[in-house]
Chains A and B, each alone.
Chain A
Amino acid sequence: MTDNARSLSPLIHLVDDDAAVRDSLGLLISTVGLRVQTWADPQSFMAGFDRASIGAIVLDVRMPGISGLTVLEQLLAQGVDQPMILLTGHGTVEMCRRAFKAGAAEFLEKPVDDEVLIEALQNAVRQHVRSRERHQADQQARERFVQLSAREREVLGLIVEGLTNKEIGRALELSPRTVETHRANLFAKLGAESLAQLIRRYAALVDAAS
């Protein structure tokens, strides 16, 4: 594995106050090729971890000073998008319910079996990658959408509603030719290759803008 590939592989943040647990879980996770960064206390983790990294966060529930559940709630409130997995030594139904309600991706009991943990981590990483991609696509679409002129946005709105060029021309009192031109510009500016792609990516933005 090259250094470049290593830096691109997902990063797992592991927060547990027990050094032995930290080291052994860290070793286990690294055996499947995931990178691991361990943190001994929640405060230094929250202050120091790379929020842009792709990966997941593993939190112990019972930690001195601040519980893993509280850390989870605070991170979500700060807009952290990494999926979070909670680990606990004595999980109650109530605690489990609270964790999922707060937005935990997974709730696992210690001692945790390797396969269970690794599967949970891989699911979390996949979920995170997908959400980052979707987020990126949304971002791109938004940037392109704002470049449209007012008239082009009107035409786009009617296209999304399913009107033909003729109908659009009648509605906007334009000649079908002019509509055709707007339509061509639209496709170029938004980078859409088909009508279906155009509608899928921009329907939500049109609804939000109108």
Chain B
Amino acid sequence: MLPAWRLLLRHMPHLPSLLLWALVACAGSGWLVVNRLQQLHAAFETDARIVHRLLSQRVVQHDAIMATLALLQPAAEVDDLHNAASPLPRLTSVYPQILTVLQRTAHGDWPATLQAELAAAEAASRRTGYAAMAGLNLPAGRYYLVLAGTPASYALHIDLRATIPADEWPMDRATSPVRVTLERGAAAFVVQPGQADQGSGIRTYDFHKLLAAPSQPLDVVARRSVGLRELPWWRMLGWCLLTAALWAAGRALWRQRVARQRAEELLRLGQVARLNTLGELAAGMAHELNQPLTALLSSTQAAQRLLADDPPELATAQTAMARAVEQARRASTVVGRLRRLVERPDLAGQSQPLALATAVQDVLHLLEPELARHGVVPEVAAEPDLPNVLAEPVALQQIIHNLLMNALQALEQVPLAERQLHLAMVRVDAGRVALSVRDHGLGIPPEARQHLFEPFYTTRTGGLGLGLTLCESLAQAMGAQLTLAPEATPPSAAHRGAEFVLTLCAAPPAHDR
């Protein structure tokens, strides 16, 4: 019984890499979220500080105005506030946030409706020396600022709405998600409404700071809530897709590699299997032939001995000779059976017109790794307008393959720089096309030249000696010819090497068919 995880792995071999991808995708997305939240927080803090500074600057102005009014006292000794010569009415047009300016002379009173509140504030101001607030109505954004003075005290009626510097404001007040309020106690003046559902998001940022004007101790409160919609969804999706694509590509590459390894393994196995089959065939053949040969030899030798006896035992010798004849026939039957067993189908019947150059290119493509390993770059030359040849495609490729492999093995024995391999395709006459494969190896020794096409003749240790024999019989079956070109005379270093020529029948021109 396999453990559960192994069972799972067997059914989903890509599970580990898939999990790794999920981990990378999640980690990346998480980093994007954290990064975005940090950015939003930093922006919020900056905006809130700017807002605090801007509002503080504006309200501090009120103190300055009041101080100026107090300093102007002697000159502004007027009873009538609506006197055109007085600078007071002009204040409201210069500072839009100041709705009205009130003045109480030493003997006068504040307007009756405000008398109590303003008087209390004046008293507080006189005590502290600073201006004091009165009649605060934060939801409406209005309040009075009172500064006690001698002989006259002043009060400014201030509208916070007009204090807000729209042109310097760091945010778009209509659409910004940040809510900004000025608060005192439970009351609040909304400077900027922000988004409707504050506090429902995944993160909430808060900012609290009193205005930098001691006379107007209002709390600047900024609050911003980050909603799910503000997360970098598109970037996260992009990151996931990118890593998924990389994972898929990696998987495809891996599969390709595995497939290639498997193919190579199969090829190797196939070669081993072929060799084993060949060995088995040879062993079987040896046994099948050895039995009659043994009987044949023993019978004839027994007959020899019987005839040499004095007197010769003629009758027994005759029986022995009859047995010998019988065994010779048996051996010949074995050979015939073997021939039928390994007989190739008739190649001439399967010949078809095909382009020789294409066949050569196909084989060169197959052998590319082998050529590269030997450091050989073959030179291929083809006469223009070569006719098609009549051949069986597989047999033709096998012949070319064997010739090239032989050439490569010959080239192994010469230095890398001298490894030249020439392939030439020429028209011999109207009916024949020849392919020549010429290597620049050490060539074929004269004593080997005449045995080259004989079966089981090989100049290589470990060679079977069947390659060229097979090529020749394949060629002949297609009506083609394989020959070894004569040595260059006189032999020279420049012309050394071996050249094999495969002469094929040209296919009749297409319009005849």
Contacts and interface: CB of A to CB of B under 8 A. Distances in A.
Contacts of A113: 297, 301
A28 interface: yes
A111 interface: yes
Interface stretch (A16-24, A42-50, A76-84, A149-157): A16-24
Contacts of A110: 290-291, 293-294
Contact of B298 (A27, A62, A89, A90): A27
Given A27-B320, A31-B306, A90-B286, A20 B291 contact: yes
Interface in B266-298: 283, 286-287, 290-298
A18 B298 contact: no
Interface residues of B, number: 25
Interface in A1-42: 18, 20-21, 23-25, 27-28, 31-32
B302 A18 contact: no
Given A62-B287, A90-B290, A20 B306 contact: no
A87 B297 CA distance: 14
B323 interface: yes
B286 A25 contact: no
By size class, the interface of chain A is: 10 to 19
Contacts, number: 74
Contacts of B291: 18, 20-21, 89, 110
* Most chain B Cβ neighbours within 10 Å, of A21, A24, A112: A24
Interface string B320-331: 100110110010
A114 interface: yes
B316 interface: yes
Contacts of B296: 24, 111
B305 A90 contact: no
Nearest to B297: A111
A18 B283 contact: no
Interface string A105-117: 0000011111000
Nearest to B283: A90
Nearest to A90: B286
B290 A27 contact: no
Contact of B302 (A20, A21, A114): A114
A195 B296 CA distance: 57
B294 A111 contact: yes
A76 B257 CA distance: 56
B287 A21 contact: no
A112 B320 CA distance: 16
A21 B298 contact: yes
A24 B293 contact: no
B286 A21 contact: no
A20 B287 contact: no
B125 interface: no
A112 B327 CA distance: 15
B298 A24 contact: yes
A27 B330 CA distance: 19
B225 interface: no
B303 to A, nearest CB: 9
B320 A20 contact: no
B181 interface: no
A24 B287 contact: no
A27 B299 contact: yes
B295 A24 contact: yes
Given A20-B327, A31-B305, A111 B287 contact: no
Nearest to B285: A90
B294 A21 contact: yes
B287 A89 contact: yes
B219 to A, nearest CB: 102
B286 A24 contact: no
Contacts of B283: 90
B305 A21 contact: no
A21 B297 CA distance: 10
Contact of A23 (B301, B305, B323): B323
Nearest to B303: A27
A89 B286 contact: yes
B17 to A, nearest CB: 48
Contacts of B299: 24, 27-28
Nearest to A62: B287
Given A28-B301, A28-B305, A89-B287, A20 B323 contact: yes
Given A18-B291, A110-B290, A113-B297, A24 B323 contact: yes
Contacts of A62: 287
Interface in B243-261: none
Contacts of A87: 294
Contacts of B316: 27
B301 A114 contact: yes
Contacts of A25: 294-295, 298
Contact of B326 (A20, A28, A112): A20
Scoring B283, B295, B326 by chain A CB atoms within 10 A of each residue's CB, the highest score goes to: B295
B108 to A, nearest CB: 136
**Most A-side CB within 10 Å, residue of B283, B298, B324:** B298
A114 B330 CA distance: 21
Contacts of B320: 24, 27
Most chain-B CB neighbours within 10 Å: which of A62, A89, A112, A113?
Answer: A89
A111 B290 contact: yes
Given A21-B295, A27-B298, 11 more contacts: A21-B298, A23-B295, A24-B294, A24-B296, A24-B320, A31-B306, A89-B286, A89-B287, A110-B294, A111-B293, A113-B301
Interface of A: 18, 20-21, 23-25, 27-28, 31-32, 62, 87, 89-90, 110-114
19 contacts: A18-B291, A18-B295, A20-B291, A20-B295, A20-B330, A21-B298, A24-B294, A25-B295, A27-B320, A31-B302, A62-B287, A89-B290, A90-B287, A90-B290, A110-B293, A111-B290, A114-B297, A114-B298, A114-B302
